[in-house]
Amino acid sequence: MSDLHAHSVAYVRDTMLPQADPPASETGAIGWLRENLFSGPLNTVLTILSLAAIVWLIQAIFPWFANSVWHADSLDNCREILDGTLGACFAVITERWRQMMYGFYPTEIYWRANFTLLLLFVALVPILFINLSARARAIVAATIFVLSGVLVWGSFWSDIGAVGAILLILLFAAFAFAIYEYDRTRKFLVAFSLLFPFLMIWLVWGGSIWGPVSALLGFVIIGLCAAYLPPVIGNLGATIVAVVGAVIWWLFIASAFSAAMGSILPFSIQAVESRALGGFMLSIIIGVSGIALSLPLGIVLALGRQSNLFIVHTLSVMFIEFIRGVPLITLLFTASLLLNYFLPPGTNFDILLRVIILVTLFAAAYNAETVRGGLAALPRGQYEGADSLGLDYWQSQRLIIMPQALKISIPGIVNNFIGLFKDTTLVTFIGLFDILNFTNAIRANAEWHGIYWELYIFVGFMFFISCFPMGRYSKWLEGKLATDRR
Amino acid sequence: MTAEADVGSGDFRFSMLLYDRRYRSITIQVLALLGFLLFVSWLVMNTVHNLQVQGKDFNFGFLWTRSGYDINQYLIDYDSNATHFRAALVGLLNTLLAAVVGCILATIIGVVVGVLRLSKNWLTARLMTVYVEGLRNVPVVLWILALFAIMTNVTPAPNAFRGESPTASMLFDETVAFTNRGTYIPFPHMTWQLGVFFLVLIASIAAAWFVRRESVRKLEAEGAEPIAGWKIAAIAVVPTLALMILGAGFSFAVTSIIRLAVLAGLIYGSILAFRAIGAALAPSIRQTVTALGTIAVVLLWLLWLGPIVWNGLFPAIGLDPTLKSFVPLDAPALRGFNFQGGLKIENSFVALTIALALYTGAFIAENVRAGIMAISKGQSEAAYALGLRPGRTMSLVILPQALRVIIPPLISQWLNLTKNTSLGLAVSYMDLRSTLGGITLNQTGRELECMLLMMLIYLIISLIISSFANFYNRSVQLRSR
C-alpha cells in the first residue's frame, strides 16, 4: 500500500511518526493530581475542604502529641514538666497500663493471661483460616512463634523460670509447626480448639485442673452418646439420653468427681478470684466466652427458626426477637439485679459468671440470625441433594448443610464478635472493672484528677487495634468465600 | 427433608412416636413445649419463692405514687410531685427524642459520608475511610463520654460571660451560649406569628409536593419537560424565607417611615413657626432673615435636635427601628449565676445524640456505599447512553435500585441507635432507663416490675421499628416469577 502511495501521491507520509509521549499534564504526579484531586470544580472544592480539615486537625492535635510527657507520677508533676506549654500527659498510661490491661490480676501470673491469649489465636486457626496458602500459613506460624518468644523473653521470664520458658517455647514451636503443616495436623488442631475453652478457664482462673476436666467430661458423655447410641436407640433417643446424661453429670456428679480426683491427684495452680479479673483482659474474656458459648445455642436457634415445626419455630422466634429487641444494658442489669430472683433461693454465683450467661444469650440471638442467613444463602439444591441421598434431617444438617452454612456465616460471626467485644465496655455500669471503669477509677484518684483525653485515647486505641484488623479480616474472608461459591 | 415414610396403615404402636416420621415431629414439638413450660414454671416458682422470702409482692401500684425526684429535661409538664408513671413517661419521651434526633442526624451523616467515600476525589475518599474506620472500631460509650467531656470541660462556665472583659462570648449575635451547664439557644414565643410561620411552611411544602406530582404526571402522560428540581425546592422554601424577611423588614419599614414622617413634620412645623415670626419683621430685611433663619433651623434640626429626637425620644416612646425576627424569640441572657430564658439543651443530650449520630452514621455510610456499589455499572452506563445527565442518572436509575438494598440495613441501624440511647446512662441523660430503670427502681426497690416494664417498652419500640422494616421489604421486594 505505502509503496503505491509513495509513488502516486507525493505528499502522503509513508513512515509512521514516532509515538509521542502523552502530554506532561496527563502523566506522572501532575496527571495523577489532575485526575484524582482537581478534575472539576466540585472535586477541587472537595480537595480544598479535605486539605483544610486535615491541616486543622493536625495543627490542633500535633503540638499536643509532640509535647507529651511519658514519665511523671501525677498530673501536677506532669504540668510542672510541661511548664505551661500545651501537651499530653501520657505518663498516666505509663503508670497505670497494667491495671487498665489486667485489672487486679496478680502481677506474677500475667504470663498466664498472655499465653492464654496466644493459645486463643492457635485455637482460632482451624475456624478462621480457610484454604490458606502455604506462605500465609508460614507467616501465621512464624508470628505466633515469635510472639511466644517475645512473651517469654519479656518481663515474664522471672515468673515462669528457665524450665517453664523452655517448655513454653517448645510448645509454641510445636504449634507453629502444626499450623504450617495444617493439612496434615488438622485433626490435632481441631481437637485443641475444642479443648481450648476448658484450658482457658483453667489458665485464667487457676485452681485445680479437675474442675474444668469434669466439666469437659460432660461433653465427652454427649460425644460418646452421639457416636455410639443412634444405631441402638435412634437419633431422638440418643439425643435425649445424651442431654439427660450430661445434665445429670454436671448437676450431681461433676463436683463430687472433681473433689475426689483433687484429693487423689492434687494438681492445681494459683487460683484467681473473678473479682481480680479486669481491664482489657475482662473485655476479651467476656467477648470470647460469650461468642464461643453462644455458637451452639445460636445454631440450634437458627435451625429452630428455619424449622417447619410450629412450636419449635415460634419459641425460637420469640427468643431471638426478645433478645434483639432490648438493649444489652437492660440484659446486664438483669444479670446484676434480677437473675437471683429467677434462680433457686440460695444460688449465688459471682457477677462475672452471671454477666457471661446473659451475654451468651444475647450473642446467641445475633449468631442465630447470622447462621440463618448462611442457611438461607445455600441453594435449595443442596437440601434436595441431601434428601435424594436418603439422609435424614440431622445427617443432612451435619454432613451437607451445616459445613457450608457455617463456613459462609463466619464473617458475620466475626462481625458479631466485634460488636459484642465493643459492647463489653457496658459492664462498667454494673460495677465490673473493665478498661473503661478503670479510667473512671484513675480519674477519681487525687493524683490524676482532671485527666481524661489521654485515658480515652488509650482505651480507644486498644479497641481500634483489636477491632480494625478483625473487621478487615472478616471482609477479606467474605470476599474469599463469595468467590468460592461462584 | 421430611418426606413421608412409606409405612402401611397398621395399628398404632407407642414406638411409632419415636420411629415413625409421621408422629415424630409431634413428639418433638410436645417435648419442646413441655420442656419450655417446665423451664418457665421453674423460673416463675423460683421468683415467687424469692419474692416471698424478701417480703415483696409483684404489684405495679407504685407507679401511681409520688416520684419525689427532679428530671432536668422534660417534654411534658413534670415536677417532683408527679407520679412515677409520669416520670417514666417523661423518660420514654426523652428516649424517643434522642432516638429521633439521632436517627435524622445519623442518616444525613451516613448518606454524605457514604457518597463521599465513593467520590473520585482520592483525598476525600481516604478521609471518609478514616472517619468510618475510626468511628466504628471504638465502643460507642467512649464516644459519648468523649463528647460529654468536650461539652463540660472545654466550654466555659456561665460566669466567664460576665464582667467588664468576659473571657467567653455568646455566638450568633448574642443569641447562643455554649456553657458547661448546657447550651442555650433562642426559642420562639407561642404567638400568632409562630402559627402563621408554620402555616406558610406547611402550605409551601404541600404546594411543592403537588407541583412535583403534577409535573411527574405530565411527564409520564404527555412527555412534557418536567419542572426542574431547584424550582420545586424554591417553591417549598421561598415563601417561608420571604415571610421571615418581609416580616422582619415590615416592622422596620413602618417604624422608619413613621419616624421620618414625624421628624419631617417637626422640621416643617418649626420652619412655618419661624416664618410666622419673620412676618412681623420689616419687609426690607424679611427675606434675608427668613432665608438665613430657615437654613439655621434646618441645620439646628439636623445637627442637634434631630439626633436627640431620633436616638432619644423615639425609642423612649416605642418607635424602635431595629430589625426584629418575624416570630418573636425568647433569647437567653445572663441573669444571676446562670443564663435565663431561651431554651436550655442539656449537655448530656447533645453528647448522647451527636455521639450516637456520628457512630451510627459510620455504619450507615457503609450501608449506603454497599448499596450504591451493588448496582451494576451497566445501569449507569445504559443511563448515560440514553443521554441522562449524572444527576438524573443518580436520582432516576441508581438511587431507586440502591434504596432497596440500603433501606433494610438502614432501618436496623435506626433500631440499634434507638436501643443505644440507653447508654445515656454514661452521661446521666434522663431517658427511660435512668427514670424508670434507674431512680424509680432504686427508690421503690421494685427491680422486677421496673425491669420487666422497661424491657417491654424497649421491645415494643423495637418491634414497631422492625415491623416498618418488614413492611418496606415486602413492598419493594423484587417480584420473582
State how far residue B475 is from chain A, nearest Cα, in angstroms.
21
Exposure of A99 in the CB half-sphere (CA atoms within 13 A):
14
Residues of A in contact with B131 (CB under 8 A): none
Query: Residue B41's closest chain A neighbor by CA?
Result: A342
Q: Which of A42, A329, A421 should one mutate to test binding to chain B, selecting the residue with the greatest count of B CBs within 10 A?
A: A329
Q: Which amino acid is at B417?
A: L
The closest CB to that of A47, out of B47, B121, B153, belongs to B121
The pLDDT-based confidence of A56 (bands split at 50, 70, 90) is very high
Mark which residues 41-70 of B lie under 8 Å from A by CB: 43, 46-47, 49-51, 53
pLDDT at residue B1 is higher than 70:
no
The pLDDT-based confidence of A239 (bands split at 50, 70, 90) is confident
Mean pLDDT of B391-419: 87
- Taking only the tens place, the pLDDT of each residue in A366-418 is 999 999 988 888 888 888 999 899 888 878 888 888 888 888 888 889 999 99
Mean pLDDT of B232-238: 85
Output B59 or B464, whichever has higher pLDDT: B464
Helix (H, G, I), strand (E, B) or coil at B334: strand
B433 touches chain A (CB under 8 A): yes
**pLDDT, position A423:** 92
pLDDT at residue B454 is higher than 80:
yes
- What distance in Å separates the CA atoms of residue B39 and residue B35, rounded to the nearest whole number? 6
B3 touches chain A (CB under 8 A): yes
Q: Give ipTM to 2 decimals.
A: 0.86
Chains A and B form CB pairs within 8 A to the count of: 162
Contacts of A52-56 spanning 24+ positions with Cβ under 8 A: A53/B127, A54/B123, A54/B127
- What distance in Å separates the CA atoms of residue A233 and residue B393, rounded to the nearest whole number? 65
Residues of A in contact with B425 (CB under 8 A): 329, 429
Grid coordinates of A265? 491427684
Contact A330 B448 (CB under 8 A): no
State how far residue A43 is from chain B, nearest Cα, in angstroms.
6
Output B310 or B34, whichever has higher pLDDT: B34
The pLDDT-based confidence of A486 (bands split at 50, 70, 90) is very low
The closest CB to that of A456, out of B19, B145, B441, belongs to B145
- What distance in Å separates the CA atoms of residue B347 and residue B364, rounded to the nearest whole number? 25
**CA triplet B425, A421, A138: central angle to 5 degrees?**
160
**pLDDT, position A461:** 93
| Burial state string for B329-359 with b = 16 or more CB within 10 A and e = fewer than 16 | bebbebeeeebeebebbbbbbbbbbbbbbbb
pLDDT at residue B424 is higher than 70:
yes
Exposure of B222 in the CB half-sphere (CA atoms within 13 A):
7
**pLDDT, position A346:** 73
Give bridge partners of residue A69 from the DSSP assignment.
Answer: A89
Question: Judging by DSSP bridges, how do beta strands B329-330 and A207-208 pair with one another?
Answer: unpaired
pLDDT at residue A484 is higher than 70:
no
The whole-chain average pLDDT of chain B stands at: 83
Helix then strand then coil, in percent of chain B rounded to 5, is 70, 5, 25
The pLDDT-based confidence of B359 (bands split at 50, 70, 90) is very high
Output A416 or B394, whichever has higher pLDDT: A416
**pLDDT, position B407:** 87
Grid coordinates of B447? 427491680
**pLDDT, position B18:** 66
The pLDDT-based confidence of A456 (bands split at 50, 70, 90) is very high
- What distance in Å separates the CA atoms of residue B259 and residue B315, rounded to the nearest whole number? 10
The pLDDT-based confidence of B163 (bands split at 50, 70, 90) is low
Residues of A in contact with B36 (CB under 8 A): 315
pLDDT at residue A13 is higher than 80:
no
The whole-chain average pLDDT of chain A stands at: 85
pLDDT at residue B2 is higher than 80:
no
Grid coordinates of B241? 424565607
**pLDDT, position B3:** 46
B474 touches chain A (CB under 8 A): no
- What distance in Å separates the CA atoms of residue B414 and residue B428, rounded to the nearest whole number? 22
The closest CB to that of A334, out of B19, B441, B451, belongs to B451
pLDDT at residue B316 is higher than 80:
no
Q: What is the DSSP string of A99-111?
A: HHHHBT--GGGHH
The pLDDT-based confidence of B102 (bands split at 50, 70, 90) is very high
